Every structure is written in C-alpha cells, then in structure tokens.
Structure 1
Amino acid sequence: MTEDPRAAEQRPEHQVRIGQGPRNRRELMVKVLWIGVWLIFLSSPVEDLASGHHTLAATVAGGIGLAVFVTAYLTLVFRNIGRSFAPRVVVSLLAVLGVLAPLLTYTLGGAWVGLFIYLSVACGATLPVRAAFWAIPAATAVMFLVGLRWHEKPDESLLLVPLIGFAMVGVGQLIRTTVELRKARATVAHLAANEERLRLARDLHDLLGHSLSLITLKSELAGRMLPDHPDKAAQQVADIEQVSRQALVDVREAVTGYRRPRLAAELAGTQVALTAAGVTAEMPAEPDLTGVPEEAESVLAWALREAVTNVVRHSGADKCLVQLTHRQTLDGPMLELSVEDNGSGGAGNGPGNGLTGLTERLEKAGGTLEAGRIRHGFRLVARVPAVVAGDVGSGA
C-alpha cells in the first residue's frame, strides 16, 4: 500500500479508538460523550449546592471548588486518552484532585463522597501500575475516614471506588500496549522496506555487474584495437551494443516486476491498512484470477490501492466494503472491483490526480472507471477484461 499503517486495532462503528486522539469532529464528540456520561456521579454535589443547606459563602466556595475539580479531571483524563501530559503536569493535576476531593467532602457533607470515584479513575488512568496500586487503596481509605466525619456508613462506594480505579488501570495498560504495538508495526514496516531496498540493490547488482564489467572490458579492447585493427574494434563495439541492449532489457524486466502490484497482495494489505486506520472492512474471499491478464490484474491492484488510500486519508469513513465480481457483459467477461465507504468522499469538487491517472491506466488496459458520491458515502468501481482480447472471439 502507499501508506504504511500506524495503528492496528479493529473497532466497532461507535467505539472510541484506543490510544489515539480523535481524527474528526464525530470521533471528538464520541469521546466527549463517553467521558461526559460518567459525570453523573456529580449530581449529588450539584443537588447539595442547590438545596440551600449551606451559607452563601460555602455555596460559592463549593461551586468554585467543584468547577476546578471537574476541569482538572476532564483535562487529565481526556488528554491521557491520546497524547499524555508530562509526568510533572500529571502529578500536579492529581494533587489538585487529591486535595479537593477530601476537602470538599469533609467541609460540605457526605453528598460529595462521589468525588473520590473520579480521583480513583484519574489515578488508574494516568499513574504507572505500581503507583496506581498504592494510590487507589489510599484514596479509598481517605474516603472512608472522611465519610466517618458525616457518619456515612460503608456502602457500595467503598467497593465502587477501588473497582473502577483498578478497571482503569487495565484500560491504561491496554492503551499503552496498543501504542507500543503501533510503534512495533511501524518499525517492522520500516525494516521490511529497507530489506526490499537491499534486495532490489542485490538484484540490480547481479543483473548489471557482469554486463557493465563486460562493457568496460570490451571498451578497453576496442580502444586498443582501433588504430591498427579497426575491423576487430568494430566487432567489439557491436558486442558492446548487444550487451548494453540486453542489460537494458533485464533492468526493465526487473523494475516492471517490482512495480507491478498483485491483486491478492493488495487485498491483504488493504485489510491491514483499513483495520489500522480504524475502518471496519468487509473484504472478498481469495480472488479467482484464472485467465485474467497480468496487465488487467495489475491495473485492478492499482485501483484498489488508490481507492483505499483515499478512504484512509480523506474520507473520514468508518466502514468500507470491497467487492470483486466476475460479470458477463456485452463486451465480454469483465472483472469488477468495487470499493464503497460511508465517508464524506473528500474535499475536492472534481477528480484528483490519482483518479485521473487511474482512469488512464484502466483505459489502456481496456477497462473503465466509475467514481463518485453515493447517498451514504463514496463508491469507486473499476472494470477490466477478464480474458485476453484474443480469447473472447475463440470462446464465442
């Protein structure tokens, strides 16, 4: 594929991408809602402030403290879903939560005990595992002691606070593992590219080393023979021409083999690339390419590569359907590739350079291209002859 995958987890349609920041407005809204829904535990402190049981000064102070607490919590947890803060910032924000949770609960009442849930979540989501294993039980113990100030009996909060905190430790481990997996895959892709370059260099050396050495030798011989034996020198020059032409043919064949993509390989790469980009992919089974010309197969592979590149880079889609179908048409049997997504179709008003070049490739191979927006996304359909042109008449 033209774009190496940087990530490789598969997610359902409405699941937040693990360990990565949002790519578009929709994913940002999903993450905001996912985090915001858990703010339901703040209903008790809000009701307590609105009840009028406190003095005006206490109500104002409690409101400011609650606003600071929520701001620090959302800043800390939301940012650590993707790119984390520096350790010093994390510790500072946790210190704010660790001070405000017991202070507000101790001074304003047992209705504020729910703040310890957010403190536990923040510790589990942002601290290293060893530190979290100490911080979460400590937050639970402080909650219990502060609750005694208001004669709060141990209830489900005593179990909920450590349970949610340690659950977030697991989520944090999952995020870190996913990020490390992305880095490892990027490293593997880089190493594979380097290995391919080395293989190409070796092949070119094997192809050209002998030919260039022979050309050099014969050139020297021709130079020495030219004054006294022009006929023999002319023969050497003819040999040089023949060797150079054969070397050029070998290089062209080698480069063509490297540049010509295979449809089966592109389908496998497509599955990896779409999954890595967080796009749910529906792929065809192993394609039956019996009798399909190499040029037609290569053009379809280019079409698949271009279509998937557009899906990953520009569409903002989260679903992609790839179909490969044999069809019988008035022009003979055709092999049809369809790539359909539910994205925006990109920002351009007309076909880009990629689609224009792809259309030219398909026309040269006797195929056609259809691409455009549909009701719920964008679809590209490429068709090429499924048999060699000379076999169509004999088959009829």
Structure 2
Amino acid sequence: MGVWLVFLAAPVNDLLHTERGTAATVLGALGLAAFVACYLTLVFRYTSKAPDRRAVGVSFTLQLTLAVVLALGFGAHWLGLFVYVSVSVGAVAPPRHAAWGIPAVTAVMALTGLGADSPPGLVGNLAVLDVLVGFAMTGVRQLVRTTIQLREARATVAQLAANEERLRLARDLHDLLGHSLSLITLKSELAGRMLPDHPETAAKQVADIEQVGRQALVDVREAVSGYRRRTLAGELAGARTVLTAAGIEADLPPAAPETLPDEEGEAALAWALREAVTNVVRHSGARRCTVAFTVRRTLAGPRLELRVEDDGRGGAGAAGNGLTGLAERVAAVGGELDAGAAGRRGFRLAARVPLSGTAVGFPS
C-alpha cells in the first residue's frame, strides 16, 4: 500500500517549483501532510481488521475534502491525490460499499479536474487508474484478512489438537489406574482385616497387591510411550516451523499420507524426516527443501517412501552417526534408507518402509 506514495511526486514538485506566495505554499504543504496522514491512518489501521465506522467516516470525508480543495486550489498536478482516495475505499470499505464508492470517487475526480481546467486526457487516464487501483485494493484487502483468518485457524487447530491429546492421555490414565488403584485399595483393606487372625491369607493378598501395582506401572509406561510416539503429522508440522524459522522455503505436503505403516514403521519415517530436516538446517546452506511421500510397488509388497531433497551444498562423504543410526532404525522395521548427493547440487534422503495394506492415495 505504501507504493502508491509515488503519486505524491507531482504535488510535491508543484509546491517546490511553482511560484506562489509563502502563505499558499505553507497551506498547501499542511494540507498535503494532513491528506497523507488520513490515508496512512485508514489503510494501515483498518485494512486488516473491522473498521470503526465513525473514525473511518471522519477520516475519509476529510481525505476527500482535502483532495477536492487542493486540486481546485493548486491545479491539475494535484489530481493524483484521488488515487489515494480510491485506494482507501478499496482497502477499508466492505466490498458492497466499495463497488459504488470507487466509481463515485472517480466521478468526483473527473468533475474536479474539469473545474480546475485540467487536460481531458489527464482526467481520463486518472479515471481509469482510480477504478483499477481501487478495485485491486479490494482484492488485497480480502487477501490480507483471509491470511489473518488462516493464521488464527491454524493456531486454533493446533490448540485443539493439543487439548485432544491431553484428553486422550487423561482418559487412558483414568481407565488404567482407576481399576488398578481400586483393586489395590480393596485388597489392602482385606489384608488389614485378615492380618491378626490369618497372616498367611493376608500375605497372599499383599502378593496380589504387588502384582497389581507392577501391572499398573507397566500400563502407565505403555500409555506414556504411546503419548510420546513420533508421528508423521507431528514431524511435518515441526519441519515446516523449523525450515521457516531458518529462512528456508519449505515445500511440504499439507498433511501426512492417508495410508500409513504400522506404528513402528511410521515412527521410523518420522525419525527420518526429523533427522533430514535437522541436517538441512544445520549443514546444507539450502534455500529450498522439498518433502514428498510416494507409494512404491515392489515384489515384496507396497512400500511408503519418504523423500527429502534440498538445493544446498550436497555431499558424498561418509555417513555420520545420525544417518547410521537412522539406517539401523529403518532397517529394524524391514525398510531401507538411501542418502547422497542429488544431481550437481543438493542432498537427497529417501526412506522406504513396508505398508501393511494397500495404499489408497494421498491428500492433494
């Protein structure tokens, strides 16, 4: 929106080089400063949020009035101010109001130009420019607000996902521990009553309590392990955040594949994605990183392939500890890992793990 300030060149040049009295020059400069202040207030404050109708109405009325007065008082060089008025209408007014507001501003500009004895060709060119720029700004306004809503929606989805995962863990722990702790309490009370008269039976109850406690501990560990399991969806979100923070263009799929391997296979691919993105950020000096998933049909059955490529310095040196450990992790689930230079520039990592079933496709 600040690019439209280029149209100030004509009125500023007119103020500096046209012979007028000191009072007229000062008034023109003050009027121009007030006009620009109204313009900047409107477009930078209200383009991305719902406007205050009273404040917008006052600012717009003052802006339009200044454009008319300055153009009539100082001549055709000041007609370019109406471009700012059209930009303000397109950037701030709702679409249904902008649809008639922009042509209305253009009509006022044409009448003002005729009243200031401006060349018809100049008035016609500015009329076309006012309409085009004004309606272009309605699209920019919609794009800005849509982008803001998208960011808010992503933040909400992330928060809901985190809350859902917390609820899942809470449900799991409640179901696991509720039964076990109730049983421990009952057996403890029973052992306490039996202890004076039947110590052997009480000892058996204590042994049962120990067994239930051990099983509860195993169940809790399994629940927490599942809660902390690496997933492709989580690693994709983390990779996008890390690459963006590092200033690397991230070409990633919007979501994980619809068909995934078993938990161990998905965890292996998630670790592969994490290690590959970490290497891109730390060592590659890349400007772009691409992540893709593909189903490969092989004689051994369908496999899901993760491919990560960058356009950095590449390399064909010996594998480090990270890649060696990653290859072992992928091999443990029956997959394979390939890594090496990608063409003349860049580095490529491909990990493939077996799919338990037939793939049905991926989200576009």
SS state of the match for residue 387, structure 1? helix
Counterpart of 2:233 in structure 1 is 265
- CA pair 99-271 structure 1, distance change in 2 beyond 3 A: farther
- CA pair 305-92 structure 1, distance change in 2 beyond 3 A: farther
Residue 208 of structure 1: CA displacement? 1.8
Deviates more, 1:78-87 or 1:142-151: 78-87
Q: Which amino acid aligns with 2:34?
A: V
Quick one: which of 321, 325, 331 aligns to 1:384?
325
Counterpart of 2:214 in structure 1 is 245
Counterpart of 1:68 in structure 2 is 34
Counterpart of 2:67 in structure 1 is 101
SS state of the match for residue 151, structure 1? coil
- CA pair 225-320 structure 1, distance change in 2 beyond 3 A: farther
Structure-2 separation of matches of 1:86 and 1:385:
57
Counterpart of 1:281 in structure 2 is 250
Question: Quick check: 2:187–2:209 contact (8 Å CA) kept in 1?
Answer: yes
The number of residue pairs the alignment matches comes to: 304
Residue 259 of structure 1: CA displacement? 1.3
Structure-1 separation of matches of 2:131 and 2:116:
21
Residue 116 of structure 1: CA displacement? 0.2
Residue 323 of structure 1: CA displacement? 8.0
Whether 2:92 is the aligned partner of 1:151: answer no
Structure 2, gaps ≥5 residues long? 293-307, 313-319, 333-364
Q: Which amino acid aligns with 1:189?
A: A
Residue 322 of structure 1: CA displacement? 7.0
Structure-2 separation of matches of 1:124 and 1:189:
33
Question: Quick check: 1:120–1:164 contact (8 Å CA) kept in 2?
Answer: yes
Residue 68 of structure 1: CA displacement? 2.2
Question: Quick check: 1:80–1:126 contact (8 Å CA) kept in 2?
Answer: yes
Structure 1 residues 297-308: aligned runs within 5 Å:
none
Quick one: which of 143, 168, 176 aligns to 2:145?
176
Q: Larger relative CO (CA 8 A, sep 6+): 1 or 2?
A: 1
Quick one: which of 132, 141, 154 aligns to 1:163?
132
Q: Which amino acid aligns with 2:17?
A: S
Residue 129 of structure 1: CA displacement? 2.4
Residue 293 of structure 1: CA displacement? 9.4
Structure-2 separation of matches of 1:155 and 1:298:
61
Counterpart of 2:43 in structure 1 is 77
Note the alpha carbon deviations across 1:104-156, whole angstroms, 9 max, x for none: 00111111110000011011112222332343222112111111112332411
Counterpart of 1:202 in structure 2 is 171
SS state of the match for residue 58, structure 2? helix
Question: Quick check: 1:322–1:340 contact (8 Å CA) kept in 2?
Answer: no
Rg larger for = 2
Residue 241 of structure 1: CA displacement? 0.4
Question: Quick check: 1:116–1:139 contact (8 Å CA) kept in 2?
Answer: yes
- CA pair 51-383 structure 1, distance change in 2 beyond 3 A: farther
Structure-1 separation of matches of 2:84 and 2:78:
11
Deviates more, 1:182-191 or 1:236-245: 182-191
Structure-1 separation of matches of 2:126 and 2:99:
18
Identity of counterpart residues, as a percentage?
51
Quick one: which of 155, 163, 167 aligns to 1:186?
155
Structure-2 separation of matches of 1:203 and 1:295:
21
Q: Which amino acid aligns with 2:133?
A: I
Whether 2:187 is the aligned partner of 1:218: answer yes
Question: Quick check: 1:300–1:384 contact (8 Å CA) kept in 2?
Answer: no
SS state of the match for residue 384, structure 1? helix
- CA pair 389-194 structure 1, distance change in 2 beyond 3 A: closer
Q: Normalising by structure 2, what TM-score?
A: 0.68
Residue 296 of structure 1: CA displacement? 7.5
Structure-2 separation of matches of 1:256 and 1:192:
18
SS state of the match for residue 321, structure 1? strand
Structure-2 separation of matches of 1:320 and 1:81:
32
- CA pair 390-149 structure 1, distance change in 2 beyond 3 A: closer
Q: Which amino acid aligns with 1:91?
A: G
Residue 232 of structure 1: CA displacement? 0.3
